[in-house]
Amino acid sequence: MTKKSLLIGGSSFLILVLVVFSLLAGCGAPAADPAPPPAENGETPAPPATGEPTVIKAVSWLPVDFIVSAHAKRFAEEIEQRSNGQLIIDIIGAGEVIPTEEQIFAVKEGRIDMIFSAGDDISQGSPIGFAMVLTEMEPWEEREAGIWDFYRETLARDVNVYWLGSLMHPQWWNIFTNVEVNSPDDLRGLKIRAGATHFGSVRAVGAEPVSVPMMEIYTAMERGMIDGFVFPPSGWTQFGWHEVTDYWVGPQIVYSNASTPLINLDVWNSLTQEEQDLLTQTVIDLEEEMWDLHWWIWTGEEYGEESIINAGVEHIQWSEAESRQFQEQWMEALWEYVEEQVRPDDFARFKELVGR
**Tell me: the pLDDT tens digits for 149-196?**
999 999 999 999 999 999 988 889 999 999 999 999 999 999 999 988
- Beta strands, E only, 239-319: 247-256, 261-264, 314-316
For residue 170, cis peptide bond before it (omega within 30 degrees of 0) = yes
Q: Identify the pLDDT of residue 235.
A: 84
- As a whole number, mean pLDDT of residues 92-115 equals 96
Query: Starting from the edge strand earliest in sequence, which strands make up the sheet with 191-193, in order?
Result: 208-210, 191-193, 228-231, 171-177, 247-256, 314-316
User: Cα–Cα distance between 196 and 211 in angstroms, integer?
Assistant: 8
Report the first-to-last Cα separation within the chain, whole angstroms.
12
Provide the mean pLDDT of the chain: 87
Which range, of 17-21, 88-92, 195-199, 234-238, averages the lowest pLDDT?
17-21
pLDDT above 70: residue 39: no
Looking at residue 356, its pLDDT comes to 86
| pLDDT reading at 14 higher than 80 | no
At 293, the pLDDT band (50, 70, 90 cuts) reads very high
Q: Which CATH architecture has domain 172-255+300-354?
A: 3-Layer(aba) Sandwich (3.40)
Q: How confident is the model at residue 91 (pLDDT cuts 50, 70, 90)?
A: very high
The whole-number average pLDDT for the span 133-160 is: 95
Predicted confidence (pLDDT) per residue in 54-87, tens digit? 999 999 998 999 898 999 999 999 999 999 999 9
**In sequence order, what are the beta bridge partners of 230?**
175
Q: What is the pLDDT of residue 214?
A: 86
Residue 261 has pLDDT above 70, yes or no: yes
d(CA 42, CA 106): 44
70-82 vs 11-24: helix crossing angle, rounded to 10: 90
**Cα-trace Rg, the chain:** 21
CA distance 142 to 301: 29
Length of the chain: 356
- Type and span of the H or E element at 58: strand 54-60
Specify the range with the lowest mean pLDDT, choosing from 44-48, 124-128, 261-265, 333-337: 44-48
**Residue 41 pLDDT > 80:** no
Instruction: Give dist(CA 119, CA 111) in Å, integer.
Output: 20
Q: Which CATH class is domain 52-170+256-299?
A: alpha beta
Range 201-205, long-range pairs (CB < 8 A, 24+ positions): 201/253, 201/329, 201/330, 201/331, 201/333, 201/334, 201/337, 202/230, 203/333, 204/329, 204/330, 204/332, 204/333, 205/326, 205/329, 205/330, 205/333
Q: pLDDT at position 48, please?
A: 52
Residues 6+ apart with CB under 8 A from 46: 36
List of residues 6+ apart from 321 with CB closer than 8 A? none
Is the pLDDT assigned to residue 11 strictly greater than 60?
no
Predicted local distance difference test score (pLDDT) of residue 257: 77
Task: Tell me if residue 315 falls in helix, strand or coil.
Answer: strand
- CATH 3.40.190.170 range(s) for the chain read 52-170+256-299, 172-255+300-354
Alpha helices (H) along 117-264: 119-122, 128-131, 139-145, 147-159, 199-204, 217-222, 236-239
CA–CA dist 60, 119 (Å, integer): 13
Tell which wins on pLDDT, 20 or 223: 223
